[in-house]
Structure 1
Amino acid sequence: MRVSRRAVVAIFVPILAGLSIAVPPVASAAPAAPAQAGLERFLDQQLSWGSCADFARTDADRQAYADPKFDCTYLEVPLDYANPDGKTARIAMLRQKALDPAARIGSLFTDPGGPGGSGVSFLPSLAGLIGTGEVAQKFDLIGFDPRGVGVSEPTIDCSDTKEIDAERADLDIDTSPEGVAQTEAEYKDFAQRCADRVGLDVLANVGTRDVARDLNIAHQVVGDEKLSYVGYSYGTSIGAEYAEQFPGSVRAMVLDGAVDPSLNPVESRLTQARGFQRAFDNFATACVAQPGCPLGTDAQGASKRLQELLRPLIATPVAAGDRTLGYTDAMTGVLTALYSESLWGFLRDGLVQVGQGNGTNLLRLADAYYERAPDGSYSNLLEAFPVINCVDSDRLTDRQVALEISEESLQIAPFFDAGTGPSNALEQCSFWPVPPTSEPGPVKAPGLPTVLVVSSTGDPATPYEDGVSLARQMQARLLTVENDGHTVALQGANACADTAATRYLVDLALPAQDTTCSRQTPPAGG
């Protein structure tokens, strides 16, 4: 789950004891979902797997997709499931076939999060981390771009490169009436651009509700009676939604970095503030224990020291190669590094650089967050993120509530305080031109087999408590991982977590109740 520009103010070895415990039988398992009338032609389609060359968006994609072990295809689905005979959408998928066809269990679908993250771009990286172990041996690994995302069609494309660069340069921290009016005018302009360039019919049908329906078609078309799935971050929302709609069609599901769908409208806007402040405090504690830490020698004062370093960028950006680093990108760079402990060293050096008038490291981190390619182009993540969120969430329309959220966020996360005070600005979704297709509420999936929720104690974007809550709602098995990063399973960061996920996916054997994977020191990053 990525954090929006204003989310705080408003991808990616210990031993586990008692691992292999078989899944208990479910007393009244739900039957597999029957085919919805009108979807027969989608369920009967034949996929044409072939070269991934036309699916590449960047030089990195082109290099990864050149490996002949990957092939790609499009899956056709209804744009509007209420009208399956109407317009259609195409869902991009990239596959690595099971390395041991004789031992193949089926397909394993995965989503990297966002919303707006490309599973097609993510899969080669994840496959590299999984390596040649049992998961790769026994599953076709499939990454997909949810509707509107990446190279799926139609694509959410609301802004050109110049408009995205302008948005990054705009601070949006003025909390005066004039500043609030300007920010809200920008939100309205973005909503209108999306309506004009993408179309209301597409905007109304890109929510997680419909992604789950696409996934239900996808697993059947590739030949699997039931779904095996690994979802990271926002990908856990896809998994939870799928579980609600199709509980009898789940074989195995690993949800790592959980988004808690049960949070009330206010709490949902504050939970990331807690998570990121905790992650920053952990970073600061590690930093001040080393000589030359740019945050000083006292972790208690690190939030104040960070802002002393970065607030001057509000008026005077610093050089970063042939570009400049301003305050918003600097804070985005800090947030990006908090996603993974392996980036802490790079962040520490970046803060030292800022004190020397150099913004190189922090700008590189911000560029990575925004998926900016070396040629200056962007993926459609920045556009897809708010578009999908706005059809998945409620609407904030009360300025007093907005102000209270802002005030509490600044108290919870002082490291993110720009010093301009709380704001009563409404949110981007407050001006959205189509209604939401989902609403907050606990997961209800009677008959769902026991699935695995993985939650890291130091996860900044999806705090540990959210995983505990989701596991409780889904009556799932919770795996706690002592890890300062956002998501961990099957990524080579914690052997215990990787083993637990592998045994579950391959054998349907869950870790013991209340299992905790001990911390594994990550390699230095940067």
Structure 2
Amino acid sequence: MSSSTAVRRGYKPTSSLAAAVLLVLGLAACSDGESADKTADLQRFYDQKLAFGSCEGYATTAADAQAFAVSPTAKCARLEVPLDYDDAAGRTAQIAVLKVPARGEPIGSLLMNPGGPGGPGMSMAAAATKTLADSAVTEKFDLIGFDPRGVGASTPAIDCFTDAEIDAGDATTSVMVGAGRLTEEDTRRIVDRCAEGSGGRDVLAHVGTRDAVRDMDILRAVLGDDKLSYLGQSYGTRLGAVYAETFPQNVRALVLDGAIDPHAGTDDRRISQWTAFQRSFDAMAADCATRPDCPLGTDPSKATEKFQSIVRPLAERPIVNADGTKLDFNAAYGAVTAGLYTSAVWPKIIEGIAEIETGRGDTLLALGAAFAGRDADGRYANFSEAVFAINCLDEQRHTPAEETDLKRRIQEVAPYTDSGQGPDGARDPCEFWPAEPTLGYPYATDIEGLPETLTISITGDPSTPYAGGLSLAETLGGSVLTVDGEQHTIAFAGTDKCVNDIVADYLINLKTPPEDARCSL
């Protein structure tokens, strides 16, 4: 959701064969007619050695530092990659990498990505050492977390707004949902701000998924793995699917948890996603209605209307705290949406809605801050800004009329997001981005030679609806694990043995579950 928005070392080739394999990889990455010199320029990235050492200085937030502290064996390094793969001799980027060595004799590396786009993989891998402390996965795999290009500790990183601007609600990149208007001047200024803070327009032009998966292949090779084993969640399933499309010969195992439908373009996916969020809102409201003090009332059919009456006034009269944080309409519906990712947070959402009627916004602001990666000292992770920039290269562009129509349709399927101001003023914030979208739809189709994959899809997932996971599994010709529950992603959360055992068996033994496999949360 935007804001106001894995590899066997048991089969070591000889040095001459390794060189031949890497040469083939370099050639495969180049288009017809590219020069031998350019191939050599790319080859040097595959030949680099990672110098793993202390992780001091890699944490960009207090949450990262806390995650790193969970794993005393973690080591960090920076992987150099071309900023522009069509100019491999030119400017470079550095991908921040965290490695947690296997507790036993490793069979390879497991690359991990938590989604977003914009989620930091380094802290995901570090935290997994706790949730997977007794798992065969941490015995058999080195866990590898990486912050994709533009994200977290990788450099250059996307930076569009100051922390104070985010606190004040002045860091808007989209009004596709919620309140507000954007003009042509606004969208030009947003791109200028992002370019200035992120290191230039060439950075903004090269943070999309298709560049990121090429970084992943260099990382795979530099780690010494012949094949990739990977766990991706949410947006991370897109990374995995596009990697499979680009480098099918290099795939060993893919776990895709909370999957994005590769056939659904931007409009269809957004409508499906917001329909699912409204369904989750309604389920939360029905649960709340069983309690006499529910701020949404005791009639679930009127809960959205009641919610609107509570939060719509915030569009004109926001709640402003002494520290500068502001609960306006966008912050309120955004925090509620963040909480809808898992039913475990529903009580906190209800508490926050009730607070608004007393003139307070503490709980919803805390939910929104946690989702955005805000530290107690007011520093923000660049999660939301990276989401925006990566999506500008992955999503389909709209004219102002098309963006307005999409907002109208979203308000129809998810009225809890409707500020009452109508859809007018919606505008594609990427309209002046310095590069055209590079992903294309559909993607990851008709892949030949791809090994068996495992897609996990949760029936009540509000962010990546269940049907999307079925579509990805069918597209990849892989297996699907259905999980009954109300949340977004589940693998290795430390809460479900059924899911974790199936994932471990697949990653270690390459054994997929039976066709009717099902787990319940």
Fold similarity call, TM over 0.5: yes
Match of 2:404 in 1: 403
- 1:173: Cα distance to partner? 6.6
C-alpha distance in 2, partners of 1:174/1:80? 30
Helix, strand or coil at the partner of 2:390 = helix
Q: Calculate the TM-score normalised by the size of structure 2.
A: 0.89
Q: Which structure 2 residues correspond to residues 148-159 of structure 1 after superposition, within 5 A?
A: 148-159=150-161
Helix, strand or coil at the partner of 1:510 = coil
Q: Which structure 2 residues correspond to residues 363-374 of structure 1 after superposition, within 5 A?
A: 363-374=365-376
Please tell me the residue identity of whatever aligns with 1:65: F
Match of 2:305 in 1: 304
Helix, strand or coil at the partner of 1:211 = helix
Q: Which runs of 4+ in 1 moved over 6 A?
A: 169-175
- 1:219: Cα distance to partner? 1.1
C-alpha distance in 2, partners of 1:436/1:172? 17
- 1:371: Cα distance to partner? 1.2
- 1:212: Cα distance to partner? 0.6
Match of 2:84 in 1: 80
C-alpha distance in 2, partners of 1:331/1:126? 30
Structure number with the bigger relative contact order (C-alpha 8 A, sep ≥ 6) is 1
Please tell me the residue identity of whatever aligns with 1:283: M
5+ long unaligned stretches in structure 1 = 7-30, 521-526
C-alpha distance in 1, partners of 2:386/2:100? 26
C-alpha distance in 1, partners of 2:176/2:202? 34
Identity percentage of aligned residues: 43
- 1:174: Cα distance to partner? 11
Match of 1:5 in 2: 4
- 1:68: Cα distance to partner? 2.3
String of CA shifts for 1:278-315, please: whole Å, max 9, x gaps: 11112112211233221111211111111112112222
C-alpha distance in 2, partners of 1:507/1:202? 40
Q: Say if 1:161 and 1:494 are closer, same or farther in 2 by CA, change over 3 A.
A: same
String of CA shifts for 1:221-274, please: whole Å, max 9, x gaps: 111100000001111110011000011111110001111221134213312211
Match of 1:375 in 2: 377
- 1:4: Cα distance to partner? 3.9
Q: Is the 8 A contact 1:172 1:183 kept in 2?
A: no
Match of 2:227 in 1: 226
C-alpha distance in 1, partners of 2:478/2:4? 32
Q: Is the 8 A contact 1:32 1:247 kept in 2?
A: no
Q: Is the 8 A contact 1:52 1:71 kept in 2?
A: yes
Q: Is the 8 A contact 2:461 2:486 kept in 1?
A: yes
Q: Is the 8 A contact 2:261 2:468 kept in 1?
A: yes
C-alpha distance in 2, partners of 1:201/1:351? 43
Q: Which structure 2 residues correspond to residues 420-435 of structure 1 after superposition, within 5 A?
A: 420-423=421-424, 425-435=426-436
Q: Which structure 2 residues correspond to residues 7-156 of structure 1 after superposition, within 5 A?
A: 34-36=24-26, 37-38=39-40, 39-66=42-69, 67-101=71-105, 104-156=106-158
Q: Is the 8 A contact 2:277 2:340 kept in 1?
A: yes
Q: How many residues align?
A: 488
Match of 1:188 in 2: 188
Please tell me the residue identity of whatever aligns with 1:5: S
- 1:152: Cα distance to partner? 0.7
Question: What is the alpha-carbon root mean square deviation over aligned residues?
Answer: 2.3
Please, which moves more after superposition, 237-246 or 323-332? 323-332
C-alpha distance in 1, partners of 2:183/2:258? 31
Please tell me the residue identity of whatever aligns with 1:188: R
C-alpha distance in 1, partners of 2:393/2:189? 18
Please tell me the residue identity of whatever aligns with 2:130: G
Match of 1:509 in 2: 511
String of CA shifts for 1:51-105, please: whole Å, max 9, x gaps: 101101223333443442111011111111112222211110111110113xx21
C-alpha distance in 2, partners of 1:196/1:434? 16
Q: 1:467 aligns with which of 469, 476, 491?
A: 469
Q: Calculate the TM-score normalised by the size of structure 1.
A: 0.88
Q: Which structure 2 residues correspond to residues 198-277 of structure 1 after superposition, within 5 A?
A: 198-277=199-278
Q: Say if 1:209 and 1:479 are closer, same or farther in 2 by CA, change over 3 A.
A: same
Please tell me the residue identity of whatever aligns with 1:388: I
Please tell me the residue identity of whatever aligns with 1:143: G
- 1:187: Cα distance to partner? 2.2
C-alpha distance in 2, partners of 1:255/1:32? 27
Q: Is the 8 A contact 2:259 2:464 kept in 1?
A: yes
- 1:172: Cα distance to partner? 7.8
5+ long unaligned stretches in structure 2 = 6-19, 27-38
Please tell me the residue identity of whatever aligns with 2:60: R
Q: Say if 1:201 and 1:511 are closer, same or farther in 2 by CA, change over 3 A.
A: same
Q: Is the 8 A contact 1:113 1:235 kept in 2?
A: yes
